[in-house]
């Protein structure tokens, strides 16, 4: 699929090792954005500096993590406390660190440019639920609530928060293990291509445009028209 | 609300069934425990201190109900397992678990941008981590009775909260947990649901005493015009979700807020 070139933000940080994070980085660069990469959210200021982005130049932070193993189906009753912590709790701690590290950068950019954005990517399966992915869904819904709280707090700083909920199959190839399971039950009205990582990246660019100026805290399911709620 | 009846639960809807409630010494947990007993359930009232639960047991017994107390700090897996085993042994079966306990720091405003991760861990330990611990330990009991697992959540978990951001995230986690576990446990005929109440808790009652105008500001936002009572407004809904009457309801969150939240 060819990504349409749009005018992106001046500087952006993309956090995470998911397929979506890689597609977002490519799309932003194609749109002329200086993009910094980060494996985790804790040291975003240093990541921006390493990418040559000015201290007040981070206009966008995209947080698109994937915890290895989280899309491999497993039953709660068979899970150890350590596994639960790694798959359900640590992702929320990491997300909190990303939000806390992103806020001063985005606030500084908003003071200069008038607006800045944080985009959280969390799988849509958490919204509907799925057998075998309880820790993944628990972490995702916790992060969505945390991001909504940030949206309420950061609006006064000119920082918007958007939540993208793509199908889990766009997050990582590992999710193919869920094909044919309870998670793989909704038919996408627009077909599989509408759920690719590149399609998610297109929406990130859309949310960087002026048309998104009055949006914050909303969740956009990117599942090719499978869920269709609310 | 004035002039409300003492009990609004269908009598005997939980007759012969056993329900364990966490964090049941006060507030919403106490209200649910009392209502469950009114519906005929044998209630195991759990709290971190046994004497705290004993007060609610005495209240239930004085009204003609059946209850017992057990110690259960939900952050301690051994205590969780022991409380569940005690409930099943004491009354011969366990039909439902209501996970109501919440962090003691739930109502504290949080500076999201600077709050330490240790504070988040305190919230999560009683919410998502305990939900997992209880689920894993309760599964064999609930599978045997085709029972129910009910988790207390909140509208804040769906809408976020500027001041209670960690509480919101903890309750959001509960909703994600409910929906996915409901699908996972459906084949075992165990129902998993959420309840999101708006009720007068001891903390809110104290706050309203300190600020007499607060109650009016809150009730102005509630179409029904009053703040829910834990026994007569919240408890019956919990009893319904624990009872066979809701045997075809799973993966849902019932918002009990007098119409305050209608967006779900």
pLDDT tens digits along B43-75: 999 999 989 999 999 999 999 999 999 999 999
pLDDT over threshold 70, residue A211: yes
Query: Taking residues B107-113, what's their average pLDDT?
Result: 93
Beta strands in A167-208 (DSSP E): none
Residue-averaged pLDDT of chain B: 94
Where would I find the H helices in B39-92? 50-62, 77-91
Owning domain of residue B44: 18-256
Closest-CA distance, B203 to chain A, in angstroms, reads 22
Closest by Cβ to A76, choosing from B136, B159, B160: B136
Q: What is the DSSP letter of B199?
A: B
pTM of the model: 0.95
Residue A5 lies in a domain: no
The CATH number of whichever domain residue A109 belongs to comes to 3.40.50.720
Residue A25 lies in a domain: yes
Q: What is the pLDDT of residue A210?
A: 85
Residue A191 lies in a domain: yes
Closest-CA distance, A132 to chain B, in angstroms, reads 6
SS3 B230: helix
Residue A31 lies in a domain: yes
CA distances from B234 to B7, B27, B230, B252, B261 (A): 11, 11, 5, 16, 15
Q: Do A129 and B251 touch (CB under 8 A)?
A: yes
Q: What is the DSSP letter of B227?
A: P
Residue B13 lies in a domain: no
Q: Do B128 and A142 touch (CB under 8 A)?
A: yes
Residue A55 lies in a domain: yes
Closest-CA distance, A123 to chain B, in angstroms, reads 11
Q: Which helix (H) or strand (E) holds A155?
A: none
Q: What is the pLDDT of residue A1?
A: 43
How many domains does chain B contain in total?
A: 1
Contacts of B153 in chain A (CB under 8 A): none
pLDDT over threshold 90, residue B26: yes
Nearest CA in chain B to A128: B179
Q: Does A134 touch chain B (CB under 8 A)?
A: yes
The model's pLDDT over B192-220, given as tens digits with 9 standing for 90+, comes to: 999 999 998 877 888 888 888 989 999 99
- For the CA atoms of B108, B113, B119, B122, the dihedral, rounded to the nearest 10 degrees, stands at 80
Q: Do A130 and B176 touch (CB under 8 A)?
A: no
The model's pLDDT over A177-207, given as tens digits with 9 standing for 90+, comes to: 999 999 987 788 988 777 899 999 999 999 9
Q: What is the pLDDT of residue A55?
A: 87
Residue A230 lies in a domain: no
Closest-CA distance, B105 to chain A, in angstroms, reads 17
Q: Do A97 and B179 touch (CB under 8 A)?
A: no
User: Which residues does A125 contact at the CB level (< 8 Å), separation at least 6?
Assistant: A133, A136, A137, A140, A167, A168, A183, B180
Q: What is the pLDDT of residue A5?
A: 46
CA distances from A129 to A183, B181, B241 (A): 8, 8, 19
Owning domain of residue A111: 11-222
Separation between Cα atoms, residue B183 and residue B181, nearest integer Å: 5
Q: Does A142 touch chain B (CB under 8 A)?
A: yes
Q: What is the pLDDT of residue B209?
A: 85
* Dihedral sign, Cα of residue B243, residue B249, residue B252, residue B257: negative
Residue B167 designated active-site: yes
Q: Does B134 touch chain A (CB under 8 A)?
A: no
Q: Around Cβ B111, how many Cβ atoms within 10 Å?
A: 12
The CATH number of whichever domain residue B209 belongs to comes to 3.40.50.720
Q: Which residue has the tokens 């439902």?
A: B96
- Catalytic residue (one of B86, B141, B167, B248): B167
The model's pLDDT over B245-260, given as tens digits with 9 standing for 90+, comes to: 999 999 999 999 999 9
Residue B88 lies in a domain: yes
Q: What is the pLDDT of residue B1?
A: 53
Q: What is the pLDDT of residue A229?
A: 82
| Mutation target vs A (from B115, B174, B183, B186; most A CBs, 10 A cutoff) | B183
Q: Do B124 and A141 touch (CB under 8 A)?
A: no
Residue-averaged pLDDT of chain A: 92
Separation between Cα atoms, residue B81 and residue B4, nearest integer Å: 38
Q: Do B180 and A137 touch (CB under 8 A)?
A: yes
Q: Does A167 touch chain B (CB under 8 A)?
A: no
| Confidence band for A42, pLDDT divided at 50, 70 and 90 | confident
Separation between Cα atoms, residue B132 and residue B137, nearest integer Å: 9
Q: Does B225 touch chain A (CB under 8 A)?
A: no
The model's pLDDT over B120-171, given as tens digits with 9 standing for 90+, comes to: 999 999 999 999 999 999 999 999 999 999 999 999 999 999 999 999 999 9
């Amino acid at each position: 699929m060819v990504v349409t070139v749009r005018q992106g933000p001046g500087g952006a940080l993309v956090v995470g090792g998911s397929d979506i994070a890689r597609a977002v980085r490519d799309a932003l660069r194609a749109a002329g954005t200086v993009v910094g990469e980060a494996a985790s959210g804790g040291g975003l200021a240093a990541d921006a500096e390493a990418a040559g982005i000015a201290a007040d130049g981070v206009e966008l932070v995209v947080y698109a993590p994937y915890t290895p193993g989280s899309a491999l189906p497993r039953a709660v009753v068979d899970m150890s406390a350590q596994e639960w912590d790694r798959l359900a709790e640590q992702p929320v701690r990491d997300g909190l660190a990303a939000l806390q590290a992103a806020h001063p950068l985005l606030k500084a950019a908003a003071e200069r440019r008038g607006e800045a954005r944080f985009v959280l990517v969390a799988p849509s399966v958490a919204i509907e639920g799925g057998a075998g992915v309880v820790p993944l869904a628990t972490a995702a819904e916790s992060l969505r609530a945390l991001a909504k709280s940030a949206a309420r707090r950061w609006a006064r700083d000119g920082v918007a928060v958007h939540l993208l909920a793509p199908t889990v199959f766009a997050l990582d190839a590992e999710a193919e293990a869920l094909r044919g399971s309870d998670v793989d039950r909704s038919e996408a009205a627009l077909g599989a291509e509408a759920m690719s990582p590149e399609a998610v990246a297109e929406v990130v660019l859309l949310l960087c445009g002026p048309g998104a100026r009055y949006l914050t805290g909303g969740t956009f399911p990117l599942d090719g028209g499978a869920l269709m709620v609310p | 609300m004035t002039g409300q009846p003492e009990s609004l639960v269908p009598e005997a809807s939980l007759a012969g069934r056993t329900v364990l409630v966490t964090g049941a010494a006060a507030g919403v947990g106490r209200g649910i425990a009392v209502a469950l007993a009114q519906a005929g359930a044998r209630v195991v009232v759990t709290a971190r201190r046994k004497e705290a639960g004993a007060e609610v047991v005495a209240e239930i017994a004085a009204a003609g109900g059946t209850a017992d107390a057990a110690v259960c700090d939900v952050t301690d897996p051994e205590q969780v397992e022991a409380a569940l085993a005690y409930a099943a042994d004491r009354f011969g079966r366990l039909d439902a678990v209501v996970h109501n306990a919440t962090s003691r720091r739930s109502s504290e405003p949080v500076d999201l941008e600077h709050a330490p991760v240790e504070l988040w861990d305190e919230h999560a330990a009683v919410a998502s981590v305990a939900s997992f611990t209880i689920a894993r330990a309760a599964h064999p009991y609930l599978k045997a009775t085709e029972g129910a697992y009910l988790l207390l959540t909140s509208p804040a978990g769906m809408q976020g909260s500027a001041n209670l951001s960690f509480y919101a995230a903890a309750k959001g986690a509960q909703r994600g947990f409910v929906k996915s576990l409901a699908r996972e446990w459906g084949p075992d005929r165990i129902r998993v649901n959420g309840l999101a109440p708006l009720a007068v808790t001891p903390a809110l009652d104290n706050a309203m005493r300190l600020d007499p105008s607060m109650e009016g500001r809150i009730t102005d936002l509630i179409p029904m015009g009053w703040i829910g009572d834990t026994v007569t407004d919240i408890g019956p809904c919990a009893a319904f979700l624990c009872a066979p009457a809701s045997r075809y309801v799973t993966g849902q969150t019932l918002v009990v807020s007098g119409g305050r939240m209608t967006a779900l």
